Structure formats: structure tokens, C-alpha cells
């Protein structure tokens, strides 16, 4: 084994010529660990410096091959194997404090590379502890250790950065170090010499020739290749930061481009507004011009006519006087003395008076001048120009939109908070922001936007149905979009606030509940297909029930309505021997405990559903007879019969209710629509058709009307309840996806914005809140 000039003080140990540190051969990790002045590599396994004569050395190849199977090292090994480290250190890495000097390590504390000059003579054993450790290792390997006491003292002094050395000793130490460095250079160490990993080098201060006196004694020094990994990690982090900065800058460019598009939209809007304003101004001016022109023409005609009349009068006078002159001339020519005397005595005075009259009354033709007086209008127009301005530097254009929505429920008002900002992140207010929101049917719902004057805007809207909704924020117009202006959110369905019942024949349970009503106290009356009338309070707690007996023992109640004037119940009755849906032509008035008050047979065929108006009149929908009956009371006196024969799309009148103005609402199950009549049965309108979209029905059943004028419809086969205004315009939908309806039939409303729905196929009654 070749050995450096500085002989080792332990058997089996080689001394690194770079840092003069001892290294022992460790048979457990390396077959041969000798620092020779040839090619070197950084061991990927232990991060120690490996020096070999060449890459073809069997020990190097064996060690590398051994490490190739380790996870995460293959790429690093290949990089090392394929690189020329002999040129990397001297050509690429130099000392930070001594330019041109090869590095021996990297100071983590200072973040600088260090060389032999600034880290120079590391002690033979870095510290006494290192020596002791070396002794232990040597003894463990079976070798005998002999330590020079003077060398140990020298190590201790060096470890204290030379603080105990006198000036001469310090100078001599520096000279020896320089000589050693020159010796190393003569031996052609053109490769990077690095201290082994984990070694904390006690660097001496740099020489005075370097001009720096940095003491690295207490600093954390690592191998140059470990420093490379540290710096690589730092560079990777820097790359991430730079990439993020690039991404931010690209996003900023996109925002500025959007701002440019918004600028074009602003220009277009400004031009359109300018055209509109100037067009209006021109229209005003044109109108005034026409008025002035008309006035001038009219005055001209008037004055011209007056002058013509004056001319005609003067010409008439001239003719008259010419005629008189001719008569006088004739008399003079004929020398008719008697005639002359007569003319002179009788006509001369008259003629003189007439000439005087002509001269006095027809010499003035009047004031006939016409002139256009503009007055100060030009000055006014000029001064008005001051109010016509192009504002261009008063505010920035929006480039970024942020939208935050709150959880929304169908039928209830919700909000979206909108932040408008420029590409430079400045919050913007004062823009005519418009928000368009479309539901899952791609229909626009109404939305009002409030400017909070702090760069935020609040959009108020009321979703009509559940499901995904899609919004668009338009800061200037609806043609230009900016980042974040498109948004979407999910609207929850309106689910029941409570339910009661269940399938069964016991009290409090139902067998296909079909119709229900609510009395003024809030009690709920439910009739199921067992023809029982059950009573519950507003919380769904069972109170009582009854079935008909006495004179009514042969009948079943198939429906129920409350007469609020006398606190009684009105029930349509059917013979027990008939199947449900058969002939229903009897109406009974009962107490709330089921006792008979009165009963009468009516002329209709199947009047299973009825309603009572404010006059206590009973309105019955005759399904089989296809008409409505308006009765005065249970005595059967008919006030009006509304036949459906002359009405289009009136084939299956099923359920009926009355509105706050006593208008009559009828569900036509066969035609999938709703008909509305006035209080005396005059037909008004209908709405709805077959389908599953908003305002469409599939087998509409129960109807109800609240005190706000809303019409509620149980859309049976669409398994939902729809709400309309008094004109039949869609308002909202109760889809109850969290607790689905199945065959909703009867429906009733309360005075506090709730509704009860007979969920027939689930044998329960559900209560919903539908008004805020």
C-alpha cells in the first residue's frame, strides 16, 4: 500500500494529504480506504471521500456495484460513474476567500467554500476526543497505538485556534503550513480535496496575504459534495419560488389581458353611451329647430296674408277714387252746369271726408318683420360642453373577481359576496356590476346587486329549485369575462322540518293518507284510505280520531274541510259498500269529534274533494261529471254549476281550493294543468302542462292557497310540491331530496308559512317551511 509522505502513527491507517487527518481502514464498510493522490469519488453510501488510482480499480467497482441495489442511489451512482471528477473541482469550485485555490470543504455557517489556506493545518487528530476514538478503533482492530505527546500538545493548541501559541510559534506554524501546501501542489493534486463527511474541521484564520481574517473554528464544515447537495436543495427551493413567481407573473399577464379586454368593452360602452347622449341632444336640437322653422313659416304666412289684405284694400280705394275722378272729368268736359253745381254742392264734402278716411286708416300696414333671435343659446351650449367629459384616469378596470357563496336552500333568499379588484390587487367599487345566475334548467333567476362601496358587492337572489347553479359576474357588460367571474354552487333542497305517522291501522298511523286540512288553531285533520279522520297538533302529536256512526254508520268519510265560522267539519261521504273512487254524492256537516250536524245528498257523481269560501259556500269538484258545483250550504241548494264541456282542457277536475279573494283553483289531473275561476265560476285562466320542468306537472293532485296569494300544487308523479303566484307564475319547488316524497296527494297550509303534505306511498305526513 502506498502511503503519503506524512507517515501514519497507527498501523493500517493512511493520512489524507488534503487535510492531514487520519483514516483507519474499516473492513466492515471498505476493503481498502486509502487517500491516494489519484482519482476520487464521494461514496453515496457513507458520504466519505474515496480516492483511487482510477475508476477501473476493482475496489471502486466492487463498492459501486454493491451500492447500486440500494433504493434512491442508482441515479446518483450513475452520475458519479459517468462524470470526470478530476476536472470538476479545479475548474468549477474555488475558494470563496482565496480565488484560484482548490477547495477542501464548505462552511455551512458562512455559506462559503474554504481551502487549505483558510482551513489549513487541521491537527493530526481533530480533537483529543478524535484521538481517543482513533485509539479505540485501532485497539478494536488489534493494533497498538502510540501517540506522540508533543504532537498531542500541538493538536490541542491548534484546536484552540492558536490562542496559547506565542508569536514566534504562530509564525513558524504558518510557515510550515505554507510549505506543506506547496508540497501538496507539487504532487499535482488537481482534483478537489475534501474532508470526510461528519468531520468538524477547526480552521485556522486565513493568512495575512489573503487580506481576510475569517475564523471558521466554531463553524460547521462539510464535504464539498455534501455542500453541493445542500446547495442543490436550496436551488430546488429557489426554482420552486421562481416558478411560483413566474406563475404569478403569468397570471398577472392574463389579468392585464383581461383588463385590456375590459378596456375595449369600456370603450365600446362609452361610445355607445356618447352616441346615445348626443343622439338625444341632437334630437332635442332637431326638434327645437323644427319648432323654430315652423314658427318662422307660420309667421311669414300670417304677415304675408296681412300685407296682401292691406294691398287689396288700398287697391280698392284707388279704384274707387279713380272712378270718382272720371265722373268729375266727364262733368267738366260736358260743361253741364246744373250737374256741376249739384256735384259741387252734394259730393265734394263727401269725397273730402272719404279721402281723409282713407288717408287715416290705411296708411299703416303693421309690424311685419321676422327675425330669429338665438339669444344666449350658443353660450349655454358652450357652457354645457363643460359637463360633457371623457373620464379616463379616475379608476382602474376590474381584472379579477372573487365570489363567495353561502349555503343556499331552494325557496329562501341567499347571498353571494363578490370582490372586484384590478390586476394590481386594488379593490374596486362604483362599477355597475351585474350578476346572472342560471339554475339546472338553464333558466335565469332574479338577482339584485348592492355596491358596498369598499370593493365588495352583495348579490341577493332566491333560488327556485335545488341542484347546481351557475353564475357569471359582469363588471361592465355581459360579453367580457375576467378571472373568477364564472362560478357555480349547489343549492340544497327544501327538506321537511318534521314528519309524523307511519304505516299501520293503529291510531296515529296511516294507510295511504290522501287528504288533509288545518283549522285556525293549527290542528291537522288527516283522512287516509281506511276512511278515518285523525287529528294531530302542529307538532305532529296524535290527539284523537273518529269514524262515522249513528245515521252515518253506512258511510265513510273520503275527505275533510274546516268551516271556520262555526268550527265544524264538512266531509264528502261514500257508501261503505262501494270501492274508493265510486259514487260520492253526499255531504255531511260534523263536529270535530265526528258527531253529525246535518247531511244532504247532492246531484254530483264523484265529489271527493271540496273547499269552503269566506261566505261559507261549498265548492265541489265533480271528477266524473267534469264540472264544479257551488252550494250555499249542506242543504244542497245550488248557486252555480260550472260545466267543463265548453272549456278547453277541462277533463278531470279533481282537487279544489279557494284563494283569499274567493277565486276558485282546480287541479285537472287528466290534463296536467291548473284552472282558475272567479268566485262565481267565471273562467279566468289555466297554467301548466305535462312535463318535469318548472311549472310542469304529471298528475297534479292536492291544491292549496295561502293568505299571500300563493297557489300550492302537489305534483303527484313528479314527487314534489310546486308553488306559484296568484297569476300562475312559478315561484319555487319543494323537491325534498333529503327526504323524498312519493305520491304526494293532499296538501294544506298554515298562517306561519308552513305546509303539510300527505306523502301517500310512505304513509306519513310531512311539514315544510316554504315562506321566509
With respect to residue 210, please indicate whether it lies within any of the assigned structural domains: no
pLDDT at residue 331 is higher than 60: yes
With respect to residue 105, please indicate whether it lies within any of the assigned structural domains: no
With respect to residue 173, please indicate whether it lies within any of the assigned structural domains: yes
Q: State whether 321 and 423 are in the same domain.
A: no
Annotate 3-47 with DSSP letters as a single string: --SS--SBTTEEE-TTT--EEE--TTT-S-----SS-EEE-TTT-
pLDDT at 613: 93
Better-predicted residue by pLDDT, 476 or 443: 443
CA–CA dist 254, 256 (Å, integer): 5
Report the CATH number that the domain containing residue 548 is assigned in CATH: 2.120.10.30
- In the chain, the number of structural domains is 4
pLDDT at 263: 82
With respect to residue 634, please indicate whether it lies within any of the assigned structural domains: yes
Q: State whether 373 and 407 are in the same domain.
A: no
CA–CA dist 611, 422 (Å, integer): 61
pLDDT at 186: 38
Cβ atoms of residues 507 and 545 within 8 Å: yes
State which residues form the domain around 173: 13-92+115-190
CA nearest neighbour of 75 among 46, 54, 44: 44
Residues sharing a CB contact under 8 Å with residue 610, sequence separation 6 or more, in sequence order: 559, 561, 570, 572, 587, 618, 619, 620, 621, 656
Least confident residue range of 71-80, 100-109, 493-502, 673-682: 71-80
Q: State whether 601 and 748 are in the same domain.
A: yes
Least confident residue range of 393-397, 408-412, 587-591: 393-397
Give the ranges where 200-336 is alpha helix by DSSP (H). Answer: 224-334
Give the ranges where 335-392 is alpha helix by DSSP (H). Answer: 337-346, 348-361, 377-384
Q: Which three cell numbers stand for residue 95?
A: 475558494
With respect to residue 393, please indicate whether it lies within any of the assigned structural domains: no
With respect to residue 717, please indicate whether it lies within any of the assigned structural domains: yes
Q: State whether 471 and 614 are in the same domain.
A: no
Q: State whether 88 and 142 are in the same domain.
A: yes
| 446: phi then psi, degrees, rounded to nearest 5 | -65, 145
Cα torsion 233, 235, 237, 239: sign:
negative
Cβ atoms of residues 104 and 114 within 8 Å: yes
pLDDT at 303: 85
Q: State whether 414 and 334 are in the same domain.
A: no
**What predicted TM-score, i.e. pTM, was given to this entire model?**
0.60
Name the β-bridge partners of 562: 569
pLDDT tens by residue, 639-651: 888 876 656 667 8
Report the CATH number that the domain containing residue 431 is assigned in CATH: 2.60.40.10
The stretch 429-435 carries a mean pLDDT of 89
pLDDT at 66: 54
pLDDT at residue 489 is higher than 50: yes
CA nearest neighbour of 104 among 96, 302, 498, 375: 96
pLDDT at 349: 64
Amino acid at each position: 500500500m502506498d502511503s503519503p509522505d506524512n507517515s501514519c502513527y497507527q498501523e493500517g491507517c493512511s493520512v489524507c494529504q488534503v487535510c492531514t487527518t487520519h483514516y483507519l481502514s474499516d473492513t466492515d464498510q471498505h476493503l481498502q480506504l486509502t487517500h491516494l493522490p489519484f482519482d476520487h469519488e464521494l461514496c453515496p453510501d457513507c458520504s466519505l471521500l474515496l480516492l483511487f488510482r482510477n475508476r477501473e480499480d476493482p475496489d471502486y467497482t466492487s463498492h459501486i456495484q454493491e451500492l447500486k441495489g440500494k433504493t434512491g442511489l442508482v441515479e446518483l451512482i450513475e452520475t458519479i460513474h459517468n462524470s470526470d471528477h478530476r476536472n470538476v473541482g479545479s475548474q468549477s469550485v474555488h475558494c470563496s476567500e482565496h480565488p484560484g485555490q482548490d477547495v477542501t470543504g464548505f462552511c455551512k455557517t458562512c455559506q462559503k467554500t474554504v481551502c487549505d489556506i483558510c482551513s489549513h493545518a487541521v491537527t493530526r487528530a481533530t480533537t483529543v476526543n478524535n484521538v481517543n476514538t482513533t485509539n479505540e478503533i485501532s485497539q478494536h482492530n488489534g493494533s497498538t497505538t502510540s501517540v506522540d505527546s508533543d504532537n498531542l500538545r500541538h493538536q490541542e493548541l491548534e484546536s484552540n485556534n492558536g490562542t496559547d501559541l506565542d508569536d514566534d510559534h504562530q509564525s513558524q506554524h504558518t510557515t510550515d503550513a505554507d510549505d506543506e501546501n506547496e508540497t501538496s501542489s507539487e504532487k499535482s493534486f488537481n482534483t478537489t480535496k475534501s474532508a470526510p463527511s461528519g468531520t468538524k474541521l477547526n480552521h485556522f484564520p486565513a493568512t495575512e496575504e489573503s487580506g481576510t481574517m475569517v475564523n471558521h473554528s466554531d463553524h460547521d464544515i462539510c464535504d464539498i459534495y455534501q455542500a453541493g447537495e445542500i446547495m442543490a436543495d436550496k436551488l430546488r427551493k429557489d426554482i420552486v419560488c421562481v416558478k411560483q413567481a413566474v406563475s404569478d407573473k403569468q397570471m398577472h399577464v392574463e389579468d392585464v389581458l383581461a383588463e385590456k379586454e375590459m378596456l375595449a368593452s369600456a370603450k365600446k360602452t362609452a361610445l355607445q353611451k356618447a352616441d346615445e347622449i348626443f343622439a338625444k341632444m341632437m334630437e332635442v336640437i332637431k326638434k327645437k329647430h323644427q319648432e323654430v322653422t315652423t314658427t318662422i313659416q307660420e309667421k311669414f304666412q300670417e304677415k304675408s296674408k296681412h300685407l296682401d289684405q292691406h294691398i287689396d284694400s288700398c287697391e280698392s280705394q284707388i279704384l274707387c277714387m279713380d272712378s270718382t275722378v272720371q265722373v268729375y272729368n266727364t262733368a267738366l268736359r260736358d260743361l253741364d252746369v246744373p250737374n256741376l253745381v249739384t256735384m259741387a254742392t252734394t259730393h265734394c264734402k263727401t269725397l273730402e271726408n272719404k279721402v281723409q278716411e282713407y288717408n287715416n286708416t290705411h296708411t299703416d300696414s303693421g309690424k311685419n318683420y321676422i327675425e330669429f333671435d338665438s339669444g344666449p343659446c350658443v353660450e349655454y351650449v358652450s357652457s354645457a360642453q363643460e359637463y360633457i367629459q371623457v373620464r379616463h384616469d379616475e379608476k382602474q378596470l376590474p381584472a379579477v373577481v372573487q365570489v363567495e357563496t353561502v349555503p343556499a336552500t331552494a325557496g329562501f333568499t341567499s347571498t353571494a359576496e363578490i370582490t372586484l379588484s384590478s390586476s394590481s390587487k386594488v379593490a374596486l367599487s362604483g362599477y355597475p356590476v351585474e350578476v346572472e345566475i342560471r339554475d339546472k334548467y338553464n333558466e335565469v333567476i332574479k338577482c339584485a346587486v348592492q355596491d358596498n362601496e369598499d370593493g365588495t358587492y352583495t348579490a341577493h337572489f332566491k333560488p327556485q329549485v335545488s341542484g347546481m347553479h351557475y353564475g357569471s359576474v359582469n363588471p361592465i357588460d355581459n360579453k367580457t369575462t375576467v378571472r373568477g367571474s364564472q362560478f357555480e354552487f349547489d343549492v340544497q333542497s327544501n327538506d321537511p322540518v318534521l314528519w309524523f305517522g307511519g304505516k299501520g291501522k293503529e291510531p296515529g298511523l296511516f294507510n295511504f293518507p290522501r287528504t288533509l286540512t288545518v283549522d285556525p288553531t293549527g290542528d291537522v285533520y288527516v283522512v287516509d284510505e281506511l276512511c278515518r279522520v285523525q287529528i294531530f297538533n302542529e307538532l305532529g302529536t296524535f290527539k284523537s280520531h273518529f269514524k262515522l256512526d249513528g245515521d252515518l254508520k253506512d258511510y265513510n268519510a273520503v275527505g275533510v274541510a274546516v268551516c271556520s265560522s262555526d268550527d265544524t267539519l264538512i266531509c264528502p261521504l261514500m257508501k261503505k259498500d262501494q270501492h274508493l273512487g265510486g259514487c260520492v254524492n253526499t255531504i255531511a256537516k260534523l263536529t270535530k269529534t265526528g258527531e253529525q250536524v246535518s247531511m244532504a245528498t247532492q246531484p254530483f257523481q264523484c265529489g271527493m274533494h271540496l273547499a269552503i269560501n269566506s261566505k261559507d259556500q261549498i265548492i265541489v269538484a265533480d271528477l266524473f261529471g267534469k264540472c264544479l258545483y257551488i252550494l250555499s250550504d249542506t242543504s244542497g241548494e245550488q248557486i252555480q254549476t260550472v260545466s267543463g264541456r265548453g272549456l278547453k282542457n277541462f277533463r278531470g277536475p279533481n282537487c279544489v281550493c279557494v284563494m283569499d279573494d274567493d277565486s276558485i283553483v282546480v287541479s285537472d289531473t287528466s290534463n296536467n294543468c291548473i284552472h282558475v275561476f272567479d268566485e262565481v265560476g267565471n273562467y279566468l285562466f289555466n297554467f301548466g302542462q305535462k312535463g318535469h320542468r318548472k311549472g310542469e306537472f304529471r298528475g297534479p293532485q292536492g291544491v292549496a292557497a295561502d293568505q299571500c296569494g300563493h297557489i300550492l300544487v302537489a305534483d303527484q308523479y313528479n314527487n314534489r310540491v310546486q308553488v306559484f303566484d296568484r297569476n300562475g307564475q312559478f315561484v319555487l319547488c319543494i323537491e325534498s331530496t333529503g327526504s323524498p316524497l312519493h305520491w304526494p296527494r293532499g296538501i294544506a297550509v298554515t298562517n306561519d308559512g308552513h305546509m303539510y303534505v300527505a306523502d301517500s306511498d310512505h304513509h306519513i305526513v310531512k311539514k315544510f317551511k316554504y315562506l321566509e
